[in-house]
Structure 1
């Protein structure tokens, strides 16, 4: 083998070792010190209470009435009370059934070396069948084989210890603000993200079926977690948008003295419903909308509206009726700066009923217009990009 081949092989091996090391370290638990202290104290309290109760109810048991798998059960019940593997039924049935399987396998096989793997495998199969998968159950089955336990071992101390730990877990978790056991509502409340959910319950079920592995999180909690993550991502992306990113530009504006007929024709040709009215410096002085035209044409009276509108647009030069946009425009205009965040404008469109908001630059000149259509397009792009 050449030196180059040896160096390449060594590089690949080192890369594999580094990946294995990173995978072995795991992602870590991102919880506060307070939560770590709560879980540690709760586990210790649960073990103490289990030992005391076992001593009182079954004083003849050795080693303070405790068995090693209870330590693992305490970790689940007190440190991860939201886990499906930590709930009362998996804990009680998982430990008890597994210990019973271990004792029976030893009696049937006789040789601990053969009974041990058989007991652990059968215990796992039974826990799956009974919907009570509980990791310490594998240890309970193995312990029953290695200690030569009788079938009664499954009930005292295993069931007894587990029951005490579960009851202590219910009390301790509730006192410290943790829901245990986890009750899945028949109609779980969904979070309300700003954007529509991009997946349905059926989509989640299909993904879980494709994944085909046990997850240490309930389906309900996983669905809520994904929905909240999606909502947070949407809010982050939409929250970064500013008016200059979505406004219609360059803006179509008209001067103060623009004839009504010219403005109306412009709105019809461009299929727009509002025109900012500006002075010679492009500073906004008002806005003229379709509603302003209809108001002048006596819109509430539908009969003969077209005739009245044509009469309004006809120039007479007699000064009896308005002839320029400056005479009918709305002078109080809601505006926004080009640097303003879009999220700040949502109430103006949804609650205040605005349809067109002129956008100004740093020198107060009109540089664009944001309409409901612009906002909808921005929402659509944000959802698709998510």
Structure 2
């Protein structure tokens, strides 16, 4: 082996850079402190606690996962409870049936790993639980299968309960649920149907690659997909520099008020050949939006109230000037500020099924509107190479 190869091999031992902030590190440390303190305090004072270890060492390893790496699939509630209980049971059985402690320990850990993978509750500290059942000494051996209930099950539930409370109080997601991909489309938000993502791969492609690797990665597949897709969007945004919503929006937006009637709104849609009308108040603050689908019979199926209103429109039209758009408009409107980078529009249009996004100024007044056509045109103009001046 050459010196270069030796240095390259040794470089693999250098730890990767940790990207979490110091706030997150302190939060994890304080959470583990509180979790272990609560677990030990309660377990030590329960009736009959003197006959069992009030705090077993594997709980410290579990605390690292539950408080330090709560997004890991190995740190989820079923992982700690199922993994610890299965491993404790296997460990006690190995200690009971196999006289040689070394053989019993090896069998306990090996079988526990296979059982955890089978039951989908892999939890690394559970391997130490199996070893504790075999090598814990006379006090542990005297408990027999009671070791599974106390201390293992008891302390596992106490530590898990502490983690649930701590993460809820500190505003951290636990149990972990994958974040919705920012660039997921309405049709392939989870890519579960195999549709290609923005980056050109589908969920089926990702799962096939993971199967080919044939090893457990300490990251949820949904999280991995989200990270890859968001990284692709970030790289895509970098190519368009400082392009903002103000650069691509239509400034001469046609708007209406909540008092506008359905017939008036329809007339405006036809006259200006647009597909949506923002609804604003006297200060031009956006209160809603109506589209052609909202005002057409085929849009009534979206909500029972709309279906009833559409059925009554012929009857109500002659009275009180007709039905107001305030009864049919969508009030949960996604808006963007004029200075918002265009990449945010890409995420909105691609990920949430929007077709028209009102643009507001610093006073939150309507300044324009962006359609999918506006966005595509703006991106095309920015991406198109400059034309050479004719001689």
TM-score range, shorter chain: 0.5 to 0.7
Structure label with greater radius of gyration: 1
Q: Does 1:72 align with 2:74?
A: no
Are residues 35 and 352 of structure 1, via their aligned partners in 2, closer, same or farther at CA, if it must alter by over 3 Å?
Answer: closer
Are residues 17 and 95 of structure 1, via their aligned partners in 2, closer, same or farther at CA, if it must alter by over 3 Å?
Answer: farther
1:23-56 Cα deviation digits (max 9, x unpaired)? 2232132111111110011001100000011012
1:94-125 Cα deviation digits (max 9, x unpaired)? 01110111111111111101111111100000
**Alpha-carbon shift at residue 17 of structure 1 (Å):** 3.6
Correspondence for 2:207: 205
Alignment counterpart, residue 119 of structure 1, candidates 105, 108, 112: 108
Would the aligned equivalents of 2:240 and 2:382 in 1 still touch at CA under 8 Å? no
Correspondence for 2:73: 84
What is the SS of the residue equivalent to 1:31?
coil
Correspondence for 1:173: 167
Cα RMSD (Å): 3.5
Q: Does 1:36 align with 2:45?
A: no
Correspondence for 2:87: 98
Would the aligned equivalents of 1:61 and 1:157 in 2 still touch at CA under 8 Å? no
Correspondence for 2:231: 229
Q: CA separation in 2, counterparts of 1:169 and 1:158?
A: 16
Q: Does 1:191 align with 2:185?
A: no
Would the aligned equivalents of 1:239 and 1:342 in 2 still touch at CA under 8 Å? no
Q: CA separation in 2, counterparts of 1:166 and 1:342?
A: 43
Report the TM-score when normalising by structure 2.
Answer: 0.57
Would the aligned equivalents of 1:46 and 1:74 in 2 still touch at CA under 8 Å? yes
Q: How many residues align?
A: 252
Q: CA separation in 1, counterparts of 2:33 and 2:74?
A: 20
**Alpha-carbon shift at residue 59 of structure 1 (Å):** 4.4
Correspondence for 1:279: none
What is the SS of the residue equivalent to 2:13?
helix
**Alpha-carbon shift at residue 193 of structure 1 (Å):** 7.0
Q: Does 1:159 align with 2:167?
A: no
**Alpha-carbon shift at residue 350 of structure 1 (Å):** 5.9
Are residues 213 and 60 of structure 1, via their aligned partners in 2, closer, same or farther at CA, if it must alter by over 3 Å?
Answer: same
Q: Detail structure 1 runs of 4+ shifted over 4 Å in the superposition.
A: 346-355, 371-374
Are residues 354 and 208 of structure 1, via their aligned partners in 2, closer, same or farther at CA, if it must alter by over 3 Å?
Answer: closer
What is the SS of the residue equivalent to 1:164?
helix
Report the TM-score when normalising by structure 1.
Answer: 0.58
Correspondence for 1:18: 7
Q: CA separation in 2, counterparts of 1:350 and 1:108?
A: 72
Would the aligned equivalents of 2:52 and 2:151 in 1 still touch at CA under 8 Å? no
Would the aligned equivalents of 1:47 and 1:165 in 2 still touch at CA under 8 Å? yes
**What are structure 2's unaligned runs of at least 5 residues?**
186-196, 244-340, 347-358, 360-367, 386-391
Correspondence for 1:129: 118
Q: CA separation in 1, counterparts of 2:373 and 2:107?
A: 71
What is the SS of the residue equivalent to 2:127?
helix
Are residues 39 and 112 of structure 1, via their aligned partners in 2, closer, same or farther at CA, if it must alter by over 3 Å?
Answer: same
